[in-house]
């Protein structure tokens, strides 16, 4: 019995040592998910608003930012677009401002209610900066 | 010095690409395909370059106006800043971009040609089949003649083919006619 106990405690210690060496957590407790931090929606929005708010943003950065943003599987929030439109103003680029609105409408795809909402939210900015929407200019038709 | 003069010849776009002065040999020639190109794509709304690169005088003045308040630009002028110089009066949009999203997303009418082509070829095939029937294939076997068929049916009834639910079950043996 004494031997039995001794052996048992030895195997237990061995198991613990094995686990420690492999660095694996107990298989019952965890799954193999990534430990990367997931960015929240607010953080994402804030990051992009900051990107476009850079006072001395240059044309390339605006284009790069916009093209990247359009590449994501989402329609940007009005505040991001507001920041982008103001960046266009700083760059004296009305054409890009109109293009951004078109791109965002196209990005909404079949969800036809997103674009009117965005225009509604951006209305003060559009009026302030004097940006016409593609609809005003008749550019949405062929 | 040589490099900067060469740079001004090639144009503002080319600065980023392939101009280098190595070992005093001069400036590498920049090929057209190596420069950033313009293209209308949904997924790339702001291409690397403007559509119109050489601005006419009107367009230049429009670009100057663009630096001021945008509200003072008329609608035509705003469109001009956007569109091709070939069409209507200059427009701001047309300086920077070739086609609007509406235009680039427009489908072609190609499907009509496709359907027309389909019908045409099916028709041609039909004609070929008719011609074959007349000129290629020989006569059908005698087993297709109605006399033969009648004898065939009688034989099948005599043999009681499928008497339960099928062929002979539908024949009325007493009245010697098909069951109603």
Range in A12-21, B17-26, B73-82, B135-144 with the lowest mean pLDDT: A12-21
CA distance A2 to B159: 94
Q: What is the pLDDT of residues B41-55, one digit of tens each?
A: 999 999 988 888 888
Residue of A nearest to B99 (CA): A139
User: Is the predicted pLDDT of residue A121 greater than 70, yes or no?
Assistant: yes
**Helix residue ranges per DSSP H, B19-109:** 57-66, 75-80, 92-96, 101-105
**With an 8 Å Cβ cutoff, are A92 and B67 in contact?**
yes
Report CA torsion sign: A11, A17, A22, A28. positive
User: Is the predicted pLDDT of residue B86 greater than 70, yes or no?
Assistant: no
CB A134 within 8 A of CB A102: yes
3-class secondary-structure state, position B81: strand
**With an 8 Å Cβ cutoff, are B78 and A94 in contact?**
yes
User: Is the predicted pLDDT of residue B91 greater than 70, yes or no?
Assistant: no
CB A99 within 8 A of CB B97: yes
Q: Which two tokens stand for residue B12?
A: 């503002």
Helix (H) / strand (E) element for B117: namely helix B110-135
Q: What is the pLDDT of residues A69-117, one digit of tens each?
A: 999 999 999 999 999 999 999 999 888 999 999 999 999 999 999 999 9
Choose the mutation target among B73, B101, B109 for the interface with A, i.e. most A CBs under 10 Å.
Answer: B101
> Which residues share a beta bridge with B21?
B27
**pLDDT for B1:** 53
ipTM of the complex: 0.70
Highest mean pLDDT among A120-134, B23-37, B51-65, B111-125 belongs to B111-125
HEC readout, A63-121: HHHHHHHHHCCCCCCHHHHHHHHHHHHHCCCHHHHHHHHHHHHHHHCCCCCHHHHHHHH
CA distance A59 to B19: 21
Q: What is the pLDDT of residues A30-79, one digit of tens each?
A: 788 888 888 899 999 999 999 999 999 999 999 999 999 999 999 999 99
Task: For the beta carbon of residue B1, count every other beta carbon within 10 angstroms.
Answer: 5
**With an 8 Å Cβ cutoff, are B100 and A134 in contact?**
yes
User: What share of chain B has pLDDT > 70, as a percent?
Assistant: 81
**pLDDT for A118:** 96
């Amino acid at each position: 019995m004494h031997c039995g106990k001794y052996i048992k405690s030895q195997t237990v210690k061995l198991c613990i040592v094995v686990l420690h060496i492999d660095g694996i957590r107990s298989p019952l407790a965890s799954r193999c998910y990534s430990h990367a931090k997931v960015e929240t929606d607010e953080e994402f929005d804030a990051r992009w608003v900051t990107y476009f708010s850079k006072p001395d943003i240059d044309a390339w950065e605006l284009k790069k930012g916009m093209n990247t943003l359009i590449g994501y599987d989402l329609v940007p929030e009005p505040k991001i677009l507001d920041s982008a439109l103001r960046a266009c103003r700083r760059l004296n680029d009305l054409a890009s401002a109109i293009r951004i609105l078109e791109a965002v409408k196209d990005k909404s795809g079949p969800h036809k209610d997103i674009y009117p909402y965005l225009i509604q939210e951006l209305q003060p900015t559009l009026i302030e900066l004097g940006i016409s929407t593609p609809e005003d200019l008749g550019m949405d038709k062929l | 010095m040589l490099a900067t003069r060469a740079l001004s010849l090639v144009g503002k776009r080319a600065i980023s690409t392939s101009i280098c002065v190595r070992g005093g040999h001069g400036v590498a020639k920049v090929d057209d395909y190596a420069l950033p190109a313009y293209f209308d794509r949904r997924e790339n709304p702001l291409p690397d370059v403007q559509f119109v690169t050489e601005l006419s005088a009107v367009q230049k003045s429009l670009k100057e106006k663009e630096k001021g308040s945008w509200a003072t630009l008329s609608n035509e002028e705003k469109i001009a800043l956007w569109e091709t110089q070939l069409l209507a009066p200059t427009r701001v949009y047309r300086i920077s971009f070739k086609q609007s999203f509406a235009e680039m997303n427009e489908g072609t009418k190609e499907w009509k040609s496709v359907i027309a082509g389909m019908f045409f070829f099916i028709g041609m095939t039909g004609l070929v089949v008719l011609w074959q029937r007349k000129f290629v294939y020989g006569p059908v076997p005698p087993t297709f003649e109605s006399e033969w068929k009648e004898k065939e049916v009688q034989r099948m009834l005599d043999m009681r083919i499928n008497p339960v639910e099928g062929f002979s079950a539908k024949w009325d043996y007493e009245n010697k006619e098909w069951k109603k």
